[in-house]
Amino acid sequence: MAAAAPPHGIWVPVPTFFARKAAADYSPVSPPLDPDTQLSHAVFLANAGVRGLVLLGSTGEAVHVTRAERVALVKHLREGLAAAGFPAFPLMAGTAANSVDETAALLAASKEAGADYGLVLAPSYFAGVTSQEGVVAWFAAVAARSPMPILIYHYPGVSNNLKITPATVRTLAAHPNIVGAKFSHGDISAHCQVALDPAIDHERFALFTGLGQHLFPAVQVGVAGAIDGLAAFYPASMVRLFELASADEMGSKQREEARRIQWAASRAEELVVGCGVVGIKEAVARVCGFGDADGTRLPLLGGLGDQEWKRWEPVMAEMERVEKAVRSGGPLYSSLDGP
């Protein structure tokens, strides 16, 4: 029996929080996990209406976390979310290994700890000589060994520019244990070719964009939602944008609201695209108060710093106005020209 697709909507690729510098067990080389902050941020996002969390993806520094830490993090969030009133909140655990057996083992450990789906980064060490047939065979082998449904994670920026074509996705979408994909690139044509492909059963295969920058237009062509870094610190705005974009009918006021949110989000998302996990952690700390702005593991070193953040303040102030308006249920702005 084929597995079901993840719920459509906004998913958040959460950062992995590490202990603050003031903690007694802090180590500058490998700071330990900070499970309390991890759970507090997760509950904050769940209360904002996001559909699920992606743990241990690129934003979650999967390549910097041990298998034991992975299990502890997933287990802690599963139990903590249940205690906070979210017993069945969807969790997706990422992998970033190149071998089939190691990837399958990571998926099994995450499943046992409480994850519902696996987000599997394409193997990329030998990207220059990896054929599309090799990509298909690799993902099929992982899916066959995985105890939970998996999604294809196509992120050329961290995958040695490995290409995964829409035709390859079509082939993999037929596998009963492959239930979707995340495209973390700006090629909207590729999104269209997969989301609109009549050969794909879109009831059980969901394509998510990794960029809230183009959420509104992407949803118009059948994309199921976003796994979006901006939602880690402005979740209500992205949830509202998805609601507007996916509505069966949209009046002029709703269209204007969607445009207003998308304009602000597209500008703010430049921080996510340009600075990656470093920028996301900086924003989560400064905007929401969770974790340290420079709380990464080596070789990542330090945050953006005050001077660089100051450059982003006007953009974030605009996004903050949108977030507050969405949370209050009040009107945004009557035009795209400003408040």
Decide if 211 is inside a domain.
yes
Indicate if 21 belongs to the active site.
no
Residue 293 Rama label (left phi>0; alpha psi -120 to 50; beta): alpha
pLDDT at 108: 98
Would you state the pLDDT for residue 24?
77
In a domain, 153, yes or no: yes
Give the pLDDT confidence score for residue 334 in this predicted structure: 47
| 1 assigned to some structural domain | no
Whether 229 maps to a domain, the answer reads yes
- From the list 21, 111, 182, 281, the catalytic residue is 182
Q: Quote the pLDDT of residue 169.
A: 98
What is the residue-averaged pLDDT of the chain? 94
Which residue shows structure tokens 């520019």? 161
Number of domains composing the chain: 1
pLDDT computed for residue 339 by the predictor: 46
Q: What tokens does 96 get?
A: 């970033």
Residue 333 within any structural domain of the chain: no
CATH number for 224: 3.20.20.70
**How confident is the model at residue 235, as a pLDDT?**
98
248 in a structural domain: yes
Instruction: Print the domain residue range for 214.
Output: 9-328
Q: Which residues of the chain have pLDDT under 50?
A: 334-336, 339
Q: Does any domain span residue 334? A: no
Residue 154 to residue 162: CA distance in whole angstroms:
8
| This prediction's pTM | 0.95
Q: What is the pLDDT of residue 305?
A: 92
Beta bridge partners of 54: 13, 92
pLDDT computed for residue 123 by the predictor: 95
204 lies in some domain: yes
> Using CA atoms, how far apart are residues 238 and 14, in angstroms rounded to an integer?
15
